[in-house]
Amino acid sequence: MFIPSLLLRAIIECLFCIMTICLNILFIVAIIRLRTLRTPQNILLVNSALNLICSCFTFLTSVTIALQYSITHYINMELCRIIGYLIYSFCHGIMYSYLLVSINRFLHTFYCLQKYYLSIKFLIFEIILQWFLSFLIPLIPLFLNQIEFQIKPRFCSPRKPFYMTLEIMTGFFLPIIFMTVFNLIIYFHINKLHTDIHLSFQQKQKYKLNKFYQISHRLYNRQNNKNVKLLHQFAAFSCVFVIGWGFFACISIFDLNDIVPESIYLITLSFPAISLFIITLMIINWNKPIKQSIFTLFNSTSRKHSTSATTVQFSAPLGFNCN
């Protein structure tokens, strides 16, 4: 017999996961189909989209296991452990993939003359390392047989608060800390360059460098505005991810006496799927060239009898944003 809160969780997860999968497929196709969008930053965003798609498939499998348990009261424990491991692995992968975006932007800012750090080989190495770490860290509770099917939430997760805390620290807080550090370093670096240019102008006014200063001032002003936008976007992204996983994580860690109702567990487990959908919308909205490409792709496929295709030219984004 199905519990109403379980049915609600299943409907919400299935709906938002399917929409997230479709949007990320469109996102990937929109980048692949246009050569001007195949930049290193966009390749990293494609990598993030793949992580989101894989996470959604594991969520769908997890809710299917929960529904099956409600009908048969039987659970395949090995399958449960594998799905629980994959959920945590892909959630690590999402955060690490966005950390790669910040790292790559940091390298472009400070090591723009080092060709190796800007090469495709180094980019592929970063992506392979990200996937390796994403699958390596959640192996600890899996090998120690700590991932089990939890009856209340109908979810495969570490049974001890220590391992849940470990997953949260390695999969969320550490990446957030590193992303914050990288973004703040870039932010202060841009501001320092702008200050240096301004001081240089004051010292050399007699050499009539006004034109040089005005051009530099505009460039650094635009760069600084981009940086401020990126910090705002990064903060919004972090808040959505915290809300998505924070409620279930806090309940799992602090509900030592089993006093939280089963319905609360089940409802909070639908939040991660919603957060992934919102993050996908945010990334698409922040990258206007990709957003326009998706609309163009959608319009071209919906109008099969159209004789002319729209050609779009875009510039590469710096990070999450390409304005």
Half-sphere exposure of 25 (CA within 13 A, CB side): 9
| Number of residues written out for the chain | 323
CB contact burial 258-272 (16+ within 10 A = b; e otherwise): eebeeebbbbbbbbb
> Residue 75 and residue 65: Cα distance in Å, rounded?
7
283 vs 266: CA distance, rounded Å: 28
Structural element, H or E, at residue 155: strand 155-158
The tokens for 319 are: 């990070």
Residue 216 binned pLDDT confidence (cut-offs 50, 70, 90): low
Model confidence band, residue 217 (pLDDT cutoffs 50, 70, 90): low
pLDDT in tens, 168-187: 888 888 888 888 888 888 87
Closest CA to 253 of 263, 265, 241: 265
Determine the pLDDT at residue 288.
Answer: 83
Amino acid type, 183: N
* Inter-CA distances, 85 with 79, 102, 164, Å: 10, 26, 12
Q: From CA 34, how far away is CA 296, in angstroms rounded?
A: 11
Kindly tell me the burial class for residue 125, based on how many C-beta atoms sit within 10 Å of its own C-beta (0-12, 13-18, 19 or more).
exposed
CATH 3.40.720.10 fits 4-295, yes or no: no
- What is the pTM (predicted TM-score) of this model? 0.80
- Give the pLDDT band of residue 47 (cuts 50, 70, 90): very high
Residue 264, pLDDT score: 82
Q: Give Cα 304 to chain centroid, integer Å.
A: 33
